[in-house]
Chain A
Amino acid sequence: AQSVSQHNHHVILSEAASLELGCNYSYGGTVNLFWYVQYPGQHLQLLLKYFSGDPLVKGIKGFEAEFIKSKFSFNLRKPSVQWSDTAEYFCAVNARGNNRLAFGKGNQVVVIP
């Protein structure tokens, strides 16, 4: 079964700083990859997803993620964060043909104004 690793559970940074969150998965086959965001007190929302094609995926609110197959990674980036980006970010992986979606443990990101 696929599993997902997210490192640096807590990230604190200042506004305008760049953000990169790592996501690694363990599955040798074809995968669908997602990043979800959970703002304080809210439910999860899809930030971006990768199914195939261009490995650099652009999502909402200036976020992007790059799929590197050789590294089994799907890191999330944003060049300049805002206070409103304070949230918990979850990477998720679905192995093609499998009906389950595995989530990582999440990254709690706090942006200081």
Chain B
Amino acid sequence: EAQVTQNPRYLITVTGKKLTVTCSQNMNHEYMSWYRQDPGLGLRQIYYSMNVEVTDKGDVPEGYKVSRKEKRNFPLILESPSPNQTSLYFCASSLLYTGRNEKLFFGSGTQLSVL
């Protein structure tokens, strides 16, 4: 089954404790992206990747890192989480971002709470 898999689904942590949220897709998609969803603010893009070893900042990249060492994986890293990073995070992928097939497939989300 074609899907985008995020782990964990829920995560509670404390300020300053490094964490990684994993994202994996099995559709051989080139484009992957991370969003955070906050009430009243909608979805805001954190980072995106056009292909392996190609990443770029979105609208709210501060406090986050990403890597794209393999096509299928796009982990989101919070080196020193802070309470303002408490949010619902979504990973998404699409086949290409320059062609017509630009439908995004979303993961199920990761609810992160930073205390």
Contacts and interface: CB of A to CB of B under 8 A. Distances in A.
A27 B92 CA distance: 24
Interface in A66-89: none
B104 A99 contact: no
A44 to B, nearest CB: 5
A105 B35 CA distance: 13
A30 to B, nearest CB: 13
Interface string B82-105: 000000001010000100101110
Contacts, number: 50
Give the interface size bracket for A toward B. 20 to 34
Nearest to A3: B59
Q: Range of interface residues on chain B?
A: 20 to 34
Interface of A: 6, 9, 32, 36, 42-46, 49, 51, 90, 94, 99-106
* Minimum-distance CB pairs A-B, first 10: A105-B42, A103-B43, A43-B106, A44-B106, A106-B42, A103-B42, A46-B103, A43-B108, A99-B97, A104-B42
Interface of B: 31, 33, 35, 40-45, 48, 50, 56, 58-59, 90, 92, 97, 100, 102-104, 106-109
Given A43-B90, A90-B43, A94-B102, 17 more contacts: A43-B106, A43-B107, A44-B43, A44-B90, A44-B92, A46-B103, A49-B102, A99-B31, A99-B48, A99-B56, A100-B59, A101-B104, A102-B45, A103-B35, A103-B44, A105-B40, A106-B43
